[in-house]
Amino acid sequence: MTAVNPSTTEDPGPSVASLDTIVSLSKRRGFIFPSSEIYGGINAVWDYGPLGVELKNNVKRAWWRAMVQEREDIVGLDASIIMAPQVWVTSGHVANFTDPLVECATCRRRFRLDELPGAENLTNTEMQDPTVVDRLGLKCPVDAGPLSAPRRFNLMFKTYMGPVEEEAAQVYLRPETAQGIYVNFRNVRETSRKKLPFGIAQIGKAFRNEISPGNFVFRMREFEQMEMQYFVKPDEAARFFNEWKPRRKAWYERYGVNPARLRFRQHRPDELAHYAKEAWDVEYRFPFGWKELEGIHNRGDWDLGRHQKESGENLEYFDPATNESYVPWIVETSAGGDRAAFTFLIDAYREEEVRGEKRVVLAFNPDLAPYKVAVLPLLKKRDEIVEKCHALRDDLAKDMLAVYDDTAAIGKLYRRQDEIGTPWCVTIDVESLEDGKATVRDRDSMEQIRVDLSQVKPLIMERLAKARG
């Protein structure tokens, strides 16, 4: 899509030229693997390895801290993935959650119309025009075969609830976590005794049968969302929207994403989702271009208004300050857990030359780094050194993920930790046995300092707290 109001026009370029570099590092180091790989994989589904799960958990924790823990006006929720099917009729997803699909008559491949060369800038209205393929002379990008007229393809996954596979038993896997929040609005408000404005935050899986997933974990069919719905008085929606917009971009910057690679883009009126009155994306400069990282939406009273009407339940808010009752409006911040972790991974990537050799570093904010610290013996043949290393690692591990490694020479061990983003390495050597000190090495500056063994943990804890901000 053509950018509307991008907040910056300069292209800083990506942090890494080719996505393949990240895909291969992810596989080699245990961040992300293709799902079901021993059976040839399954398209657009990925698994997180030992380091990937730590990174993604840290991203989710950082989001929860900013959106729930640090806010008096936001509470959390964990709603189910399978909901009453009527929810998706009421929300408009059954009728409107579609992408324009075209099919090649010869190879049978299916494509999203707006991702075909020459059709990238079509408006929603144009994409529904049955003559658009002929008019633009579009052909199959694989074998140049003729393409069908576009049809609306619903992205929701369907399954059956219970032992009978009939239409009455059909349910959906949620395509967004937001609806779980709306249908719980009254329960949460009453039990938490929150007054407007207040928010409900949730992290959880969502599923979309994307026509053209891809770019590694950027667009998947099973993914996680980190969504927050902020319920406000209708005439205050614009004000809160304008507060949440910069706050969400600042969150990525707080955790180290280069501000030059972030920008806002407003959705054109014809591009807006069926529920949105106004929508802005926080975009990131991925190796494959500027793309959506997170959406901020003014959903008006679309969701609560429709759920109130269709369920017959009163979802209004009684405002004791004005003695009025009204359906709250919603300002939504909708981030992808996978897409955020992917962004932090890409943006942290650095290649440097150190003494004539290439050094690869993932310069994560320490709070997001999978391992916070690696404890390394300089001589693995000396039992006293190895014992001290294990004792230190065990003590550190009570408060953070710490790893012991003695499977290579020290230079190689440092490089290995740099490449997975471990902010600090602690080395115990022969001298440590005499003076009770260890060497603490910083990943980014490579500076080394000698510290009393008893001071290693307080030092790392202090640096971690500082990184958290």
Q: Which region among 138-146, 288-296, 352-360, 442-450 touches ligand GAP (by CB under 6 A)?
A: 288-296
Q: Residue 450, class by beta-carbon neighbours within 10 Å (0-12 exposed, 13-18 middle, 19+ buried)?
A: exposed
Q: Which region among 310-318, 331-339, 397-405, 410-418 touches ligand GAP (by CB under 6 A)?
A: 331-339
Binding mask 334-353 for ligand GAP (x = CB under 6 A): xxx-xx--------------
| Residue 99 β-bridge partners | 153
> Of the two residues 219 and 307, which places its CB atom closer to ligand GAP in the complex?
219
Among 22, 132, 147, 178, binds ligand GAP (CB under 6 A): 178
> Who's near 25: CB < 8 A, 6+ residues apart?
31, 349, 360, 419
Residues 211, 156: Cα–Cα separation, whole Å: 11
Residues 249, 261: Cα–Cα separation, whole Å: 11
**What is the three-class DSSP state of 228?**
strand
> Who's near 274: CB < 8 A, 6+ residues apart?
92, 95, 96, 97, 302
Among 227, 278, 301, 303, binds ligand GAP (CB under 6 A): 227
CB 451 within 8 A of CB 438: yes
**Secondary element (H or E) of residue 445:** none
Provide the minimum distance between the beta carbon of 339 and ligand GAP in the complex, in angstroms, as a whole number.
4
> Of the two residues 93 and 372, which places its CB atom closer to ligand GAP in the complex?
93
Token digits for 379? 């001589």
The residue of the chain with the least Cβ separation from ligand GAP equals 336
Contacts of ligand GAP in 401-460 (CB under 6 A): none
Residues 440, 348: Cα–Cα separation, whole Å: 21
**Secondary element (H or E) of residue 26:** helix 19-29
Provide the minimum distance between the beta carbon of 294 and ligand GAP in the complex, in angstroms, as a whole number.
5
Provide the minimum distance between the beta carbon of 111 and ligand GAP in the complex, in angstroms, as a whole number.
16
β-pairing, 437-442 vs 424-428, is: antiparallel
Provide the minimum distance between the beta carbon of 208 and ligand GAP in the complex, in angstroms, as a whole number.
5
> Of the two residues 248 and 437, which places its CB atom closer to ligand GAP in the complex?
248
Q: Is 32 in the site for ligand GAP (CB under 6 A)?
A: no
Query: Which residue from 77, 324, 283, 32 is spatially nearest to 179, judged by alpha carbons?
Result: 77
Hey, CA dihedral for 301, 307, 312, 318, is it positive or negative? negative
Provide the minimum distance between the beta carbon of 32 and ligand GAP in the complex, in angstroms, as a whole number.
13
Q: Which region among 186-194, 304-312, 328-336, 355-363 touches ligand GAP (by CB under 6 A)?
A: 328-336
Among 54, 99, 114, 294, binds ligand GAP (CB under 6 A): 294
Rg (CA), the chain: 25
CB 270 within 8 A of CB 124: yes
Among 88, 198, 223, 317, binds ligand GAP (CB under 6 A): 223
β-pairing, 98-103 vs 46-48, is: unpaired
Contacts of ligand GAP in 203-222 (CB under 6 A): 208, 210, 219-220
> Of the two residues 237 and 378, which places its CB atom closer to ligand GAP in the complex?
237
**Secondary element (H or E) of residue 232:** strand 222-232
Provide the minimum distance between the beta carbon of 99 and ligand GAP in the complex, in angstroms, as a whole number.
11
**What is the three-class DSSP state of 263?**
strand
Provide the minimum distance between the beta carbon of 436 and ligand GAP in the complex, in angstroms, as a whole number.
49
Token digits for 428? 């115990």
User: How many chain residues touch ligand GAP (CB under 6 A)?
Assistant: 19
> Of the two residues 278 and 292, which places its CB atom closer to ligand GAP in the complex?
292
Q: Which region among 20-28, 261-269, 292-300, 352-360 touches ligand GAP (by CB under 6 A)?
A: 292-300
CB 364 within 8 A of CB 423: yes
> Of the two residues 29 and 208, which places its CB atom closer to ligand GAP in the complex?
208
Distance, CA of 274 to chain centre: 23
Query: In whole angstroms, how far apart are CA 308 and each of 18, 147, 273, 276, 387?
Result: 49, 42, 21, 18, 64
> Of the two residues 145 and 215, which places its CB atom closer to ligand GAP in the complex?
215
Provide the minimum distance between the beta carbon of 157 and ligand GAP in the complex, in angstroms, as a whole number.
12
> Who's near 238: CB < 8 A, 6+ residues apart?
298
> Of the two residues 210 and 316, which places its CB atom closer to ligand GAP in the complex?
210
Q: Which region among 24-32, 87-95, 289-297, 355-363 touches ligand GAP (by CB under 6 A)?
A: 289-297
Q: Is 296 in the site for ligand GAP (CB under 6 A)?
A: no
Looking at residue 399, its amino acid is: D
> Of the two residues 219 and 233, which places its CB atom closer to ligand GAP in the complex?
219
Interface residues with ligand GAP (CB under 6 A)? 176, 178, 208, 210, 219-220, 223, 225, 227, 292-295, 332, 334-336, 338-339
